[in-house]
Amino acid sequence: MKFFIDTADLDEIREAHDLGVLDGVTTNPSLMKKSGVKDFHGHIRKICELVEGDVSAEITATTYDEMMTEAHAVAAIHEQVVVKVPLILDGIKAIKTLSGEGIRTNCTLCFSATQALIAAKAGATYISPFVGRLDDISTDGMELLRQIVHIYATYGYETEVLAASIRHPMHVLQAAEMGADVATIPLDVIKKLLKHPLTDSGLAKFLSDWESLQAEIAAEANEAG
């Protein structure tokens, strides 16, 4: 399973990258706003230089011709860029054309399995079902993920399932159990994945026992000498 970090914040990306388990980055216009990004292309280039994997950069046009122009410009920023395209009618047309041109796409804002089916048929590289946002409106986001994984496996679609809008470690665990190819995860959730109170208390006990053993050895050596 690939781990992407869901942020435009360079410090967060650096921190996740330093952990050694990062496979890529996803951004969106809201994350760009949150990080106060003024130079979009320059910022995406910086992210690509920080990490080795795919970097999703979202276009904001909503009509086919404008989407294609923007997608070409974004794809030209860096070879690691994956063009993030919203799952609307013109977006699907753009994904189909971009796929034919060999430009990789991340089809975003997916909230239904039929949307995911069309994105795969259009040749999207990734489909991004937003599990957390569905949970937010009392709909089971994980059930959507299960449906998409099942449909793609049934027909052998190559589109990778990218679990997005991840809110907590259980989302990551369930996405892994269902066979999602990727999870894009905020930094605080990545950190929570490796935490366990029994690990912390177990380590504290090992270290204190080791310290008292060393004290006993030193005391015995003192007595003997």
In single-letter form, the type of residue at position 220 comes to E
- Our CB check for ligand E4P shows the closer of 169 and 196 to be 169
- 134 CB neighbour count, 10 Å cutoff: 19
Q: Does 133 bind ligand E4P (CB under 6 A)?
A: yes
Provide the minimum distance between the beta carbon of 200 and ligand E4P in the complex, in angstroms, as a whole number: 28
Which candidate, 71, 53, 60, places its Cα nearest to that of 32?
Answer: 60
φ/ψ region of 179 (left if φ > 0, alpha if ψ in -120 to 50, else beta) reads left
What is the C-alpha separation between 189 and 72, in angstroms, rounded? 33
Residue 211 beta carbon to ligand E4P: minimum distance, rounded to whole angstroms: 44
Binders of ligand E4P among residues 25 to 84 (CB under 6 A) are 26, 28
CB of 208 to ligand E4P, least distance (A): 41
Q: Are strands 105-110 and 24-26 parallel, antiparallel or unpaired?
A: unpaired
Cβ-contact 207, 27 below 8 angstroms: no
Respond yes or no: is residue 2 known to be catalytic.
Answer: no
Selected from 164, 175, 180, 190, the binder of ligand E4P by CB under 6 A is 164
| Residue 125 makes contact with ligand E4P by CB under 6 A | no
Our CB check for ligand E4P shows the closer of 130 and 157 to be: 130
* Contact positions vs ligand E4P (CB under 6 A): 6, 26, 28, 108, 128, 130, 132-133, 164-165, 184
